Amino acid sequence: MSQYTLRERRDRAFGAGAPLFYKSPLHIVRGEGVYLFDDSGRRFVDMYNNVPCVGHANPHVVEAIHRQAQTLNVHSRYLHEGVVAYAERMIARHAPGLNRIVFACTGTEANEIAIAAARAATGRRSIICMDKAYHGNSDLVDKLTFAGERDDPDISPVRFPDAYRAPEQGLSDEDIAEHYLEDVKRAVDALQAAGNPVACFILCPIFANEGGTRIAQAYVPRAAEIVRAAGGLVISDEVQSGFCRTGQWWGYDSVGFTPDIVTMGKPMGNGIPLSAAIADVDIIERFRRLSGYFNTFASSPVQAAAGSAVLDVIEREGLEAQVAEVGARLVEQLRAIEHPSIGEVRGDGLFIGVEWVANRETGAPDADGAQQVVDALKDRGFLIGAAGAYDNVLKLRPPLVFEHQHAEQFMAAFRDVVSG
């Protein structure tokens, strides 16, 4: 036995500072459906993890991985029926015109591909993104995370359309959207004037990392029009919003527009590293021609088996409709709570955000209070997160198989915590 605790051993192996949840971290040893179990056997309802979308250790997915791993797992420079069939199935899930796919392993890699493809297609370099965006962790996409803080001629951040903290009191949602769309117009014009016109506009259509906004439908399709009118392409980062998260297949469906390039990741393989970028034939073939892109671990038979099994479960179990129903009722119940710290409840299917504020008049964010709620819910057996531009939005983002009964249990605990 080591003389160190698991936590100490972890710090000694990963280096101090490797991210860890909760003041007193959880030691999770098992998962099943929406449940996670710690080393003492305690059960938690997982309302945080979107990756195991069809449930932790889903038997159909596990069996598909096992069968394929027993048979073959190799790179994509040989022909493979399972890989091609999965690619066809993913394409069929998308809007017409989104008809060629490039597989990768992580959301970061998918966004790298999307940006490279947009640059190849337009012959331009510059990127418009949200000021509080997160699209991954490579050198390039990391620049988007820090777009609001560092000057880069190729990266133009615009304010995310924060309707809760609107620019003025009393504006209609349409007017608020219009206010933020001016940012996009200014960014497009400034890039044009600098001789570095926009190659692409990248956004999460439900503004997941920003904490959500109630005006996505008024904002996103029009922002896309502005960028396209200037010759740029629109990348919808569906790493969080895709795969029925919103109660529709794609975030772009739920906000009402069709992107030029879509990226996907987290839930695709229920935990097997799997991501993709999808666009039309001209964009993808030009990208392939110019880059010769090849990814050793991607487009593999095990990825395809896991991905296909995820689609099977979503389709068979009718999770698209279930997410819409369970999410809508949960939002309704949350909205029925009158509490001085709850500024707004926003929901897109099972992506639900609760603005936790110090003051409902000013909307001043209360990140510490939000973290206390997160910790108190953990102590009651429910795992949620705090996120958003100000780290104050309670984020409920359970596996898609989360049901009404789990929502009822959660609401009892939540009412208890907020009234306590």
Residues 128-167 that bind a second copy (CB under 8 A): 137-140, 142
> 106 or 341: whose CB is closer to a second copy?
106
Q: Which is nearer to a second copy, 7 or 316 (CB)?
A: 7
List binders of a second copy among 100-119 (CB under 8 A): 100-102, 104-109, 112, 115-116
| Residue closer to a second copy (CB basis): 294 or 412 | 294
* Of 234 and 298, CB closest to a second copy: 298
Nearer to a second copy (CB atom), residue 229 or residue 294 = 294
CA distances from 101 to 12, 92, 209 (A): 41, 11, 25
CA–CA gap between residue 173 and residue 179 (Å, rounded) = 10
Tell which positions 210-269 bind a second copy, by CB under 8 A: 265-266
For residues 224 and 396, which CB has a smaller minimum distance to a second copy in the complex?
396
Q: How far is the CB of 24 from a second copy (least distance, A)?
A: 10
- 65 to 104, contacts with a second copy by CB under 8 A? 65-66, 69-81, 84, 87-88, 91, 100-102, 104
Rounded to a whole number of angstroms, the minimum distance from the CB of residue 37 to a second copy is 8
If phi > 0 it is left, if psi is from -120 to 50 it is alpha, else beta; for residue 17 that is left
Query: Which of positions 316-375 make contact with a second copy (CB under 8 A)?
Result: none
Please state the separation of Cα 186 from the chain's center in Å.
27
Which residue's CB is nearer to a second copy, number 180 or number 382?
A: 382
**Closest distance between a second copy and the C-beta of residue 197, in Å?**
19
Query: What's the rounded Cα separation, in Å, for the pair 64 and 303?
Result: 10
The Cα–Cα gap between 213 and 82 comes to: 39
CA dist 370 and 240 (Å) reads 21
For a second copy, which residue of 173, 285, 317, 391 counts as binding (CB under 8 A)?
285
* Helix (H) or strand (E) run with residue 282 in it: helix 281-291
What is the CA 70 to chain-centroid distance, rounded? 32
Report if residue 17 touches a second copy, rule: CB under 8 A. Answer: yes
Order of all β-strands in the sheet with 233-237:
100-104, 275-279, 261-264, 233-237, 198-203, 126-130, 155-158
* Size of site (CB under 8 A) for a second copy: 89
> Which distant-in-sequence residues (6+ apart) come within 8 Å of 35 by Cβ?
43, 44, 45, 46, 56
Q: Which of residues 34-63 bind a second copy (CB under 8 A)?
A: 36, 49, 51-52, 56-57, 59, 61-62
Distance CA 311, CA 316 (A): 8
